[in-house]
Amino acid sequence: MKARQRDTAPAVPETDWAGTVARAATEDVREMLRAERRRRRGRWFAGGLVVLAVGAVVALLLRTSVFEPVAGDQAQGRDATRAGVDRDAPFDAARPFAGTPAESWADGAAGLVLPEARAVGEFDADEVAATTQLVRSVLVASRLDRKLLVDHDPTGYLGFLAPDAKRQLEPLFADGREPEVQALVSLVAPGSTPLPVEAKVSGTMSTRQGKAGELVVHTNYVFAYAFEPPPNLRLAEAMNTVVVVRADVDYIWRVGDKWTVSSRGLWFDAASGFGYSIDCDAYRKGFLAPVTTGHSVTRRPGEAEPGSYFDPRSPLPPAGGCRH
């Protein structure tokens, strides 16, 4: 049996009436379009266990004036500092995370700490330990290894998956289909250059029994990537060159005669998350690039302050969007 999909007005003169109606209708249409775009920018979902992974739609939560050719105003600076971002921190290519909440995080794979090995349902402690170690290797390959991150070569990542899962994902790494797999991996946009420092990582991993023959490993991590700034650009704050990705992804280890041989092994399942301080145009194409390469964006009143986007324990925010 192959792996199955998880079931988952005041009155106006008559002469002005036509113009008033036209203006109102135009605003109504614009609001409808904006509402539709907001609905479309829901959380990531990467489901398909027998079908190809569903194209991920990301909630892109960015704020106004994330970079400027000159320093921003003092009120914005005070807000950013309260949220854990120091606008006055000088840029240092050797310490690009200085002045951000990610500054004290572990470097790279050191931030992927395994949970204590213990028996879970039908899986003994040794089997659980082996599975969480496998998932840790998958996270390194999908989020940190420059072979995939920069070179866009998915061979290492796909090699950890069950043959059927690999077959489903492999076509999504080419021909403009990268947005369909971005819930599971990080890909640097062509033309953007990561700094030669490891990404910062914070989060947790946990396990639970799934259906018969399934061990579910839930991963909840935030990855912060540092990029080279454009030449001759005066940076307004520490976040100008940092891209933040939150990824909550379930991986499932499947064993037993319930599954065909080619479906036994590691599968991807439900995924959600968001990107912050990121170039919208690149992200819509499935790639990561800093805001210094894109357009300015706005942050709606009431949206969470930047510091919360660095906290893997915080609730996933409502759908937001890139706004020119």
Residue 84 CB neighbours (<10 A): 18
Question: Tell me, what amino acid is at 106?
Answer: A
Average pLDDT, integer, range 95-119? 95
Taking the C-alpha atoms of residue 292 and residue 90, their distance in angstroms, rounded to an integer, is 16
Asked if residue 205 lies in contact with residue 251, where contact means CB atoms within 8 angstroms, the answer is no
The 10s digit of each residue's pLDDT in 124-160 is 999 999 999 999 999 999 999 999 999 999 999 999 9
Q: Report CA-CA distances (Å) from 324 to 35, 82, 297, 300, 321.
A: 16, 26, 5, 13, 10
What pLDDT band is residue 231 in, cutting at 50, 70 and 90? confident
Q: Domain extents for the chain?
A: 11-39, 41-310
- Express as a percent the part of the chain with pLDDT over 70: 62
Please give the pLDDT value at position 125.
98
Closest CA to 214 of 322, 123, 311, 291: 123
Please give the pLDDT value at position 315.
66
Quick check: 118 pLDDT over 70?
yes
DSSP per residue, 166-227 = HHHHGGGGSTT-GGGTTTT---BPTT--B-SSPPEEEEEEEEEE-STTEEEEEEEEEEEEEB
